[in-house]
Amino acid sequence: METLRRAIEDYLYGLDPSLDLPMVAAHSLTRDINCQALAELAGLSKDSTYEIRELVSAVIAELSIDVAPLPEAVFRKAGEAARDYLAGDLGFRPAIRQVTELMFDRNYLAFDVRPDVGVGQFDDLWLLNEWIYAVDNGHERDGVYYFETSEDAEACFKAVATVLAVPRT
């Protein structure tokens, strides 16, 4: 049920563009999670955008799924990228891009109630965002973009990733 709940959150909040929600629904059916709307969802193709959107609310209602608010879902998704980075499955720059895109593109930091409030490692998240933007656009040599070296930026990101990687309950 947890996998289905996370997939629904990712779908609702647009956190995973590669998500195949009908496939997740089909896998859920094989794990004895069952309801009429889920079976209908599992029978759709990934490209059935309108039908998927119509069925998601029915799946949530029929299975009484408790969908996390946006800040919690973004924090969870960023935590997945952080765990992949710390495990060596995701490189530093792709990891920082995923985390900063999630945090900034979803206006995560604008929410007053967030899982990271009061965690000091997140104070410099905007610096990492500016640094990766400069690197991606070839401006890292135009001046000191808050970090003298890539190693300095990675050390800062590692502190953020370490906090993100701790699963929240």
> Where do the domains of the chain lie?
2-63, 70-164
Q: What is the pLDDT of residue 105?
A: 79
Predicted local distance difference test score (pLDDT) of residue 145:
62
pLDDT tens profile 63-110: 999 999 999 999 999 999 999 999 999 999 999 999 999 888 777 877
Note the pLDDT of residue 9: 96
How many alpha carbons fall within 13 Å on the CB side of residue 81?
A: 23
What residue ranges of the chain have pLDDT lower than 50?
A: none
Specify the pLDDT at position 115.
Answer: 82
DSSP string over the chain: -HHHHHHHHHHHHT--TT--HHHHHHHHHHTT---HHHHHHHTS-TT-HHHHHHHHHHHHHHHT--PPPHHHHHHHHHHHHHHHHHTTSS-HHHHHHHHHHHHHHTTGGG-SS-TTTT-GGGGGHHHHHHHHHHHHTT-TTSS--S-SSHHHHHHHHHHHHHHHTS---
